[in-house]
Amino acid sequence: MNGVPGTLPGPRGVGAALTTVRFFERPLDSFEVMRSKYGDISQLNVMGDRLVVLCDPAMIETVLVEKAAIMQKDSVLRDLKVLLGEGLLTSEGEFWKKQRRAIAPAFQRRHVNAYADTMVRLTREHLQEWQHGEHGDVHERMMRLTLKIVVQTLFDSDVTESEHIVGEAVEQAMLHMDRELHTFRSLVPSKVQTPGRRQFRETVRTLDKVVLNMIRARRERGDYDNGDLLGRMIAATDDVGNTMDDQQLRDEVLTLFLAGHETTALTLTWTWMLLSRHPEVAHRLRQELRDMVGDRDMVADDMMRLPYTNAVLKESMRLYPPAWIMGRENLEELTLGGYRVPVKSQLLCPTWVLHRDPRWFDRPLRFEPQRWLDGLAERLPRFAYFPFGGGPRICIGNHFAMMEAVLLLGTMVRDWSFQVDPGYRPVLVPSITLRPRHGMPGVFHKAASR
């Protein structure tokens, strides 16, 4: 590392200015360059914020696990409160702990496994709309499918009109947050009401109206033991027996819409692209599904029977992690890698960089699902691969997301293939999640007969 002990390495002077420009224009490249030039810990000052980039699994473990008690979410995720309020993703401290304890039972494995039939049924229905040889956007289709699933499992209802409204509103809100947080628009003081910010307020009001109406309708129905997540959350009580009011339910529901809808859709989107470019992987995947599942509908227990299917998804999330970066802010000074890290630093853990590090992964830029079949996960440092985060704030829905991805991918790939357009190169949008700008166009084909 460059620099003297106690002084974090990083660009200075003109180099810092150029790196800041790159940070806004090409954040993925920016983090890779920081790692290459300055090592596993480096610093960049951006508009008064001290960004400390961590690319070492042991340092990340210190931040996410060992020192979790003195951490809060980074400034970017705190800004998400304008959309998500005090949901699990953005809340802090004792309030977050209370909410996590109250909601956690709804995500127990036995409850989540009960959603498998719904996931498979809705996927089958979705596939009925596909036509052999038609051209379409696989990202749009995956977003539509996972939104329908999250609505069904969350509300236990078929609210097609509301699905469309919520899906469009969430999409517009995420685009706005991307512009506000990852472009030079972030330089505009928050009190200045630009046209984009006024439109965003309208979008949030639309979401509030739809979601609160759904919550009130669910309260009127009662019968909170019929299996849907919202029913369980309405019935959930904290340590002293209090239940959540409508506003808190709204915050948790929108958080689940974001986390349970977009991330799985992106995992499947990137997987379709990779399978399109690696037909030998698609063939092996389809063969495993036909051998182990055959013609029957998939069930929750298939997760344990399909090692290669799981490996394909793990490898997809390695190369294109939907949660491409994770961040914390330290409330006390600490030492990382022999350097003093001042209080209130933005500690950034770029999953994108760790997942492509040749120290942990042979041929790191290649799509090789078989690498996960010989115990690699057990040999890796704990935070060399962390698509769902880690520590006390690990994603509460990680089993839900992984089961959904396995069931949906397996159900679709047995009967269908997708070929991205010739020459297609995704324009990566590292917003809150890692998205493909302009979608992912290509042609859908009915797979050969089983």
What pLDDT was estimated at residue 183?
A: 62
In a domain, residue 139? The reply is yes
CA-based radius of gyration for the chain: 22
Angle between helices 93-103 and 246-257 (to 10 degrees): 80
CATH classification of the domain holding 166: 1.10.630.10
- Please identify every stretch of the chain with a pLDDT value under 70, giving residue numbers as ranges: 1-6, 157-163, 180-190, 449-450
What pLDDT was estimated at residue 1?
A: 42
In a domain, residue 5? The reply is no
What pLDDT was estimated at residue 22?
A: 82
Q: Are 62 and 40 in contact (CB under 8 A)?
A: no
| Alpha carbon distance 403, 386 (integer Å) | 17
Identify the H or E element spanning 435.
strand 434-437
Going by their DSSP bridges, the two strands 41-46 and 416-420 should be labelled as unpaired
The residue length of the chain stands at 450
In a domain, residue 20? The reply is yes
What pLDDT was estimated at residue 229?
A: 85
What pLDDT was estimated at residue 4?
A: 47
Q: Are 448 and 417 in contact (CB under 8 A)?
A: no
In a domain, residue 329? The reply is yes
What pLDDT was estimated at residue 2?
A: 47
In a domain, residue 2? The reply is no
In a domain, residue 415? The reply is yes
**178: its two tokens:** 């991307």
- Total count of domains within the chain: 1
Identify the H or E element spanning 224.
none
Q: Are 267 and 315 in contact (CB under 8 A)?
A: no
Q: How far apart are the first and last CA of the chain?
A: 56
In a domain, residue 403? The reply is yes
In a domain, residue 1? The reply is no
Residue 332 structural domain: 13-446
Residue 315 dihedral angles phi and psi, to the nearest 5°? -70, -35
What pLDDT was estimated at residue 420?
A: 97
What pLDDT was estimated at residue 187?
A: 62
